[in-house]
Amino acid sequence: MSNKIYHNIKHSFLVLIIFVLLSNLAFAQEPETTEDYKVSKFYYDFQYFGFPFSANIGYQYRNDSSELFVPIVGLSYEYGLYAITLYADAKMEYRYKRFFFEIGFKQGLIPEVGDGYEYKNLESLGRFKIGYYFENVGISYNIDVGNGYTREIESRNLVNKFQVKQNLSLSALLHVDAKNTLSFDTAVGVQSLPYSDQHTYSFFARIPYTFFHYWGEFGIMPAIRYSAYFADSTREYTIGSLYLYDLMMIPLTGNNSDYNNLLDFLSYVHVEYKFFLRFLPAGFNNIFLVVFGDIGYGKQINKNFDNGQMLYVVGGGIGYSFFGTPFQLTVGVDQLENVVLNILITPIMHRF
């Protein structure tokens, strides 16, 4: 057990030290000037334009530059690596100017494993998150501790295991004007299954770009993901990413076994064009047509890089701009010749 504790502490400090070094740059900035005012009111928040769908209520108190949200409770409907799951959420958040931290708990409400509705089959995790926003850059560190799903390499069975996940992320708005938006997202993570002595790390980066004009919007996004085991780790459970999950798509045809294999290396380029039907009468001119295509390369665990597979999805659909949010329904065909469905919103999103 002492060896397991050592690994968890070592990997925790590896991610946390990087975050602290970056945070020191943040507080070296000139202090912001703010107007003195107070806010004390009922708080609510809805996330309805992409996964996770969520609804939260709570209490908001603000005194000058300090802002507190507590308690915040709600529900979230999330598309994960293994299933679409309903969660009950509870958290509190504190903000001071551009600094924030959050403490929360997520309780799964739908079991994905086991024969009956037992608590041990439900996902549940606690989260601590801390971050800072620069003018055009945001950094954050979060750690999740609790029970979550993973898949056994040999049997392919889905199991619920105690996990410790850490993530250090950075988002940057590189350029924005009336027509062009270019941003960048990257993250490094460490995941441990302490009772199985499995310790892994991961890397992710993407660069979304969109060009807007009167009749349409063109978007392109290259992305890359990589996951690996630490040298002293066991290799009992799968690691990696799902191609369709990255594109916010779900398969409508084909067998579930077709999508059980996670990719420890994944790289792709997503291209999309929206054509606005502005010539239609008022009330209908918010409708747009969508065409998209993806091409990439992925490698499964325990396979050589040369033994990977080409990945693609092509398709199209229709959308509607609702209060500035472009909802869309698109279908496509992937490399397995299965029909896939896009989940309400484009994967090309500028997250900062």
pLDDT digits 0-9 by tens, 193-204? 999 999 999 999
Mean pLDDT, residues 115-123: 84
Q: What are phi and psi of 176, to 5 degrees?
A: -150, 135
The whole-chain average pLDDT of the chain stands at 88
Whole-number percent of the chain with pLDDT over 90 = 67
- Contacts for 7-12: CB closer than 8 Å, 24+ residues apart: 7/192, 7/194, 7/197, 7/199, 7/230, 7/232, 8/164, 8/192, 8/194, 11/166, 11/190, 11/192, 11/199, 11/201, 11/230, 12/143, 12/164, 12/166, 12/190
- Cα 221 from Cα 58, distance rounded (Å): 36
Task: Flag whether pLDDT at 1 surpasses 70.
Answer: no
pLDDT of residue 9: 45
- Cα 183 from Cα 179, distance rounded (Å): 14
Angle in degrees, CA 265, 139, 248, rounded to 5: 45
* Three-state SS letters, 46-94: EECCCCCEEEEEEEEEEECCEEEEEEEEEEEEEECCCCEEEEEEEEEEE
Structure tokens at 28: 């070296």
3-state class (DSSP) for residue 1: coil
Contact 203, 226 (CB under 8 A): yes
pLDDT of residue 36: 60
Pairing of strands 84-96, 99-108: antiparallel
- Cα 123 from Cα 128, distance rounded (Å): 17
- Cα 342 from Cα 187, distance rounded (Å): 24
- Cα 307 from Cα 320, distance rounded (Å): 41
Q: Read off the pLDDT of residues 228-276 as tens digits, 9 standing for 90 and up.
A: 999 999 999 999 999 999 998 999 998 877 788 899 999 999 999 999 9
Q: Given pLDDT bands bounded at 50, 70 and 90, which one contains residue 123?
A: very high
Mean pLDDT, residues 324-349: 90
Angle in degrees, CA 192, 194, 195, rounded to 5: 140
Give the count of alpha carbons within 13 A of 345, CB side only. Answer: 15
pTM of the model: 0.84
For the chain, what's the residue count? Answer: 352
Contact 349, 208 (CB under 8 A): yes
pLDDT of residue 130: 97
- Cα 36 from Cα 53, distance rounded (Å): 34
Of 184 and 23, the one with more pLDDT: 184
3-state class (DSSP) for residue 222: strand
Pairing of strands 309-322, 287-300: antiparallel
- Cα 103 from Cα 201, distance rounded (Å): 23
pLDDT of residue 11: 53
Which single residue is written with the structure tokens 């979060």? 142
Least reliable range by pLDDT among 115-119, 179-183, 192-196? 115-119
